[in-house]
Chains A and B, each alone.
Chain A
Amino acid sequence: MSWKKVCKATDVAPNTLKKFWIDGGIPIVIANYGSGFAAIPPMCPHMEEPLEISGVISNCVLTCTKHLWAWNLATLEQHGTETEKDIKSYQCKEENGDILALVEEEIVYEFDDEDDMDDDSFFAKS
């Protein structure tokens, strides 16, 4: 486990998110919420939505605009009435103008598996 440089602090403007790749493959989104930075996996835990595209930040709160799941980026607490899952994140710090993240392995969310209904009996159900 080690701290990895992701980008410069000036690469991500306040209240925006940007996607980077570290170690030649792990994708990380850096969110600048004004009073700090968060390093998160790039997908919304709800339905795999890319947050660097569909996420908006206002008053420290990251909202996925597809179904309005939201989290406070300073505390990582769920925000609002729609959110059903926690957001995961990498530890993150700013050092000498660089943004560093503590990365051991890629954080991925578990999404529901699709049911297997490929047997022929599917068409016989009533």
Chain B
Amino acid sequence: MPARNHSQWLAKPKLEGGEWIDSRVYSDQNVFDDEMERIFKKVWIPVCHESELPKPYDFRTTSIAGEPIIIARGPDNEVRAFLNVCPHRGMLLERRPSGSFLEGQPSGNPKRITCMFHAWQFDMKGSCVYVAREKEGYQDRLCKEDVGLRRLRCEVKFGGFVWVSLDDNPKISLEDWAGEPFDCLRKSIDAEPLEVFHYHKAIIDTNYKLWHDTNSEFYHDFMHYHNRVTGFNDAYFARKNFAFKHGHVVVGTFEVNYENYEGFESRGALSFPHLPPNQWYMVDLFPGMNFNLRGSALRCDVVTPLGPDKVMIEFRGLGLKRDTPEERETRINHHNSIWGPFGRNLHEDLIGVAGQGTTMRPHTEPRQILHGRHENQTIHDEIGMRHYYDEWGRWMDRLPNDPDQPWHERNPGESAEAAE
């Protein structure tokens, strides 16, 4: 194909409508704002793992769709989530990324969440338990009972992850949301408690969906030199992508032959419970979570979109809570040799999406992004992305290849409500 002039470059590709999308989906501020309102404030997000708050009064802070959140374990061992906002004047209640409320803060008391601004205090169930000089200032017009924290839907599920929804009345229960795609992993990750042994985050100048796209296709193994030269075999190409409702995709299992990996060893001895030795599974959840069980280690990616061209990706590695120190050491080695900062492919994936982010900055000229590979749903088929953007179009009521046009007009009867 010769090089193209501007109008040739802008011409629509010779592919079907669902086989390419418009880059404004990745770069437009209005699209991003809509995604926060229409998707991220409505769905279930795995904000952390319960092993990251192992003791009563342990907490973590995070955010969903820009809304700051506290997750705390109560004295009754329940994990609860609250908006990290003081009901008085809107101060951020807790500034630390994680810690314990067991010891009092400088302005507060033990076992309380304390707003450092005016010393209002809240217990682990979000009840307000102290308003400084309450009677003097509010007489009987307002009292502690009126000013509790905003509590959020929160469930510990699917291997001990803590799932939060900003929607008090989600249209889809967590079980209905992700139960089916997790079926392939459930026996392995729910057999016994898991524990996070690895955490790092990357803030990348790219759109969050580009990260999920990369997790949804394996065609980019051409970027991973080692995967390409040691992994391309019949079993690799035989894997299929399975689409589930709500935009999720599961990549079918296969047995990894680590003998082909120079310097690697079999992971059979430490494979997760009920998992055949060296088996591998991957679950991609809409709108941007990935669970990857590679025999002896589970990886979980969660995206937090920060703007059309900025995303925070949190990476967690998990093993079994009962690991001996030696087992844990081996598991960490297995995890890091693939997914650590110096691992086999993670850093290359980040380079890939950072490069896409560079060409699709806000206000760059809209261009076409091709999702058109069909290979009988196998590993280099781009069905995962096509399935994702079908779902995206319904939630957003925008056409992925013409995002200023409403989805429902081209797909009558397929509005977001119908999809649910």
User: Which residues of chain A have a CB within 8 Å of any CB of chain B?
Assistant: 44, 46-50, 54, 66-67, 112, 114-118, 122-124
Contact = CB atoms under 8 A, between A and B. Distances in A.
A117 B125 contact: yes
Contact of A49 (B104, B127, B168): B104
B169 A123 contact: yes
A50 B110 CA distance: 8
Contacts of B124: 114
A118 B154 CA distance: 11
Interface of B: 74, 78, 104, 107-112, 119, 121, 123-125, 127, 129-130, 132, 151, 153, 168-169
B301 to A, nearest CB: 29
The interface centre, meaning the residue of B104, B109, B129, B130 with most chain A CB atoms within 10 A of its CB, is B109
A66 B109 contact: yes
Given A47-B121, A115-B125, A123 B168 contact: yes
Classify the secondary structure of B's interface with A.
Answer: loop
B151 A47 contact: no
Given A114-B124, A115-B127, A118-B78, A48 B169 contact: no
Contacts of A116: 125
Contacts of A118: 78, 125
Interface secondary structure of A, over-half rule: loop
B153 A48 contact: no
Cβ-closest 10 pairs across A and B = A47-B109, A123-B168, A49-B109, A114-B125, A48-B110, A114-B123, A48-B109, A66-B109, A115-B127, A114-B127
Contacts of A54: 104
A75 to B, nearest CB: 26
Contact of A66 (B104, B111, B129, B151): B104
Given A49-B110, A50-B104, A67-B130, 9 more contacts: A48-B111, A66-B108, A112-B129, A115-B127, A116-B125, A117-B125, A118-B125, A123-B168, A123-B169
13 contacts: A44-B109, A47-B121, A48-B109, A49-B109, A54-B104, A67-B119, A67-B132, A112-B129, A114-B74, A114-B123, A114-B124, A114-B127, A115-B127
